[in-house]
Amino acid sequence: MLAGTLRQQIYAALPEGEEHRGAPGVAALIICTVILNTATTLLQSVPELQPFMAAHTTIPLLCGGIFVAEFFLRFWTATECDRLWQKFPLLGKRGSYLVSFHGVIDLLVCVPMLFMLAGFAPDGWLSLFAVISLFKLSRYVTALELVGAVIQNEKHTLVASVLTLGLLLVILSTCLFLVENAAQPELFKSIPHTLWWGIVTLTTIGYGDMVPVTLAGRILGGITMLIGIGMLAMPTGIIATGFANERKRRELLQIWKIVSSLPLFNHLDANWISEISGLLKTLMVPAHVVVITKGEFSTALFFIADGEVEIDLSPTPRRLRSGDFFGEAGLLQNKPRSATVTTVKPTRFLVLGLAEYQSLMSRAPDLRKKLEETASQRTLESR
């Protein structure tokens, strides 16, 4: 029981991606270790600094020790992670961690430490394992994690485009070999040799080390360049679309979580919350900015996702915080705003537009009744 409690506490302190950040101090320590380890590895390759870096192995040993300790702690606490596959054929959740992307990276970055303990210098190909530690940043940098998610989501389409590019590479290289072999037997001496020309031409790099000289070869080379431009644009478009879809999905998921936690919607089921989440728009407003002005007509209902606003009521202003909403009275009664609302600090709103509000209220009488009760209560409080 005591070991289980300690394991839970250590797991809670280890940063584990977007859903479970863990202790900020531990995250900062690992990020600094990754940066210091990579910088040291890069400096070791500078000829002028090699004698100095070789005499100071403290930094690689310190970084390696932190990586090894992190790996064993993550391996030990893997049983507490809900996202790992519990019924993995070997070692259960711990085995699932070992074969996961982050688990493999955590293990590989420990390799230089083992060689240093055996008396080897952390140079040569061992430098590659040190640089691989940069992948550990994907746990803490949302943008890197987003790239991985996009590639995972679009992997089938990306594989199809890469396979198509590979087929074209072999076909076009074979055609050019047949055309140019007689004119340049030393340069285009086999199809495998000509594949190099195909790669640099399809990618439109054109190093100039292998250039067709016959008319047919140059025509084929031009066609290959045009095909390369079109083919390389395909993965770019796929990834760009994937980024847009993934960001939209995450934004909707975040809005769904916020909406489900708002008191106004806590009696609704998941279907209603999903529909409302799709109607809301996110709005970020800096501090000390007027959101709505007294006397103007209502065009939206505002929900405070995080932050704070002040309603200019007489004689005592009122402040609303995360989970509160305002603007319902003007929409319900179709009357001008009764007070000015100003942000106290940077605030994120979820905004329900007038058209979306009218559509929602016509289909959700219980929700409209709740809004009317809130509006009536606030009217009495303001008197």
Q: Give 325-352 pLDDT, tens digit per residue.
A: 787 766 666 677 778 888 988 888 888 8
* Domain 2-140, CATH number (from 1.10.357, 3.30.70, 1.20.120, 3.40.50): 1.20.120
Q: Which of 242, 185, 228, 239 is nearest to 210 (CA)?
A: 185
| CATH fold of 270-382 | Jelly Rolls (2.60.120)
The conformation of residue 118, written as its DSSP 8-state character, comes to T
What average pLDDT does the structure give for the chain?
80
C-alpha distances out from residue 39 to 42, 46, 242, Å: 5, 11, 32
C-alpha distances out from residue 31 to 65, 67, 133, 141, 230, Å: 14, 11, 10, 10, 39
CATH 1.20.120 range(s) for the chain read 2-140
**Stated pTM of the model:** 0.61
Q: What is the pLDDT averaged over residues 181-195? A: 89
Least confident piece of the model among 24-33, 77-86, 101-110, 180-189 = 77-86
Q: Which of 267, 265, 376 is nearest to 324 (CA)?
A: 265
CATH 2.60.120.10 range(s) for the chain read 270-382
Question: pLDDT grade, residue 170 (50/70/90)?
Answer: very high
Q: What is the pLDDT of residues 281-322, one digit of tens each?
A: 888 888 888 888 887 877 788 888 888 888 887 777 888 888
Question: pLDDT grade, residue 14 (50/70/90)?
Answer: confident
CATH no. of 156-245: 1.10.287.70
CATH 1.10.287.70 range(s) for the chain read 156-245
Burial group, residue 254, by CB count within 10 angstroms (0-12, 13-18, 19+):
middle
